[in-house]
Structure 1
Amino acid sequence: MTRHVIDKPKERHPEIRAREYVRLEREAGPHRAVTRLHARKLGARGMARLSQFLRIERGHEA
């Protein structure tokens, strides 16, 4: 049995499909791994590195 002329799937461009997937992911909220990274403690070494990066960003060089 053949299909009817109007029984064709809608043609959607790959860009539109990808954009919709990204939109759905964004609306679902941040990924679990991202929230874990934001919640973890830096520790002594991490704080030292952070302070050095901030010092360089402010323009204070050694």
Structure 2
Amino acid sequence: MELSRLDWRRASKSHEDGDQCVEIASGSDEVSLRDSKDPDGPKLVVSRSDFRYFVSVLKAT
């Protein structure tokens, strides 16, 4: 997957000047995450099912 061509999105509750923002982008089978302060830095790419599990755990806490 070409990560530079993805449509990166930031959480709607984030502010432009926020210092702790994560952006996500969806591919056909994967979800990519990156630090909004360093868009050219490392990215984490996980399967859609792993991302759904991750979100469900966050919501449960």
The normalised TM-score by structure 2 is 0.27
Higher share of residues assigned strand: 2
Structure with bigger RCO (C-alpha 8 Å, 6+ apart):
2
Higher gyration radius (CA) = 1
User: Greater helix percent: which structure?
Assistant: 1
